[in-house]
Amino acid sequence: MPPHPDSNLHPAATGPAASIVAAHSSPAPLKLYSGWFCPFVQCVWSVLEEKQIPYQYIEVNPYNKPPSLLALNPRGLVPTLEAPNGKPLYESNVVCEFLEEAYADCGARLLPEDAYERARCRIWMDYCSSRIVPAFHRFLQWQPPAGAGDAEGGSAADGLAIVREEFLKTLKDFAAEMLTTTGSSSGPFFLGTQPSLVDFVIAPWIVRLWVFDTFKQPGGLGIPAAGEGGADEAVWERLRVWKAAIEERPSVRDTLSEREHYLPIYKRYADDTAMSELAKASRKGRGVP
């Protein structure tokens, strides 16, 4: 059988993430089956780091699935967590909530004690997964109509502008929620001064926003610069504050590898040739698989 078209990946984490991998290479009851490049992995990985939960990091290539991964998760996807009882868990949001509940005594709490606020966090965690992430990938994977030449350049640019605006609206609506909610209006995080699971489940896509300025020109990402947001400047400024805080949070910043190794991965997405399950779902107009 020929190798999966996305299987030729850099084999290991680099940069700050490599140091964390090395520190968690020894056997431990809690095991994270991981791919250094995967944003869904980074959701879980950053929560493990934020709460300082002891774990073992196990690097796998989900496009060349080892038997150890398939024994836990028949789909062979990462992240997959092997709990201390040997039982598997997967789906990144589910795993993040498990870590918050099962390791409540580790580090800071990442969901509120108040039942209403906890439910509201779950609404916005779902919003991140069901709205922001699919819109991110529709924008990144968008291609001009087949056969479009110079004469059709205007329509191609219009198409790119539409998917860009769709994505930016998801970010703007998210920022508007933060701006109007007591306790988080000044931030910097979704709930206020301390990060929550809401921040961590979307952080990996926020720290990858550079892909649009790299691959989707003209126009790039398109978030207005400071002072240029017009009537919505306050909303955009809240987004900028939040984005800067996420990018500098050590548990997020230090679970990233060097950008050069992400470039070939995201070029395949930008060219719409990637064959991950998420890329295939986005191509068919579906949400996160």
Active site residues: 38
Q: Please, which contacts does 170-175 make with residues 24 or more away whose CB atoms are closer than 8 Å?
A: 170/127, 170/131, 170/132, 170/135, 171/132, 171/223, 171/239, 172/232, 172/235, 172/236, 172/239, 174/124, 174/127, 174/128, 174/132, 174/202, 174/239, 175/235, 175/236, 175/238, 175/239, 175/242
- β-bridge pairing 80-82 and 56-59: unpaired
The answer to whether the CB of 37 falls within 8 A of the CB of 251 is no
Token digits of residue 178: 């933060």
Q: From start to end of the chain, where are the E strands? A: 31-34, 56-59, 80-82, 88-90
Residue 286, judged by CB atoms within 10 A of its CB (0-12, 13-18, 19+), counts as exposed
Token digits of residue 201: 């489940």
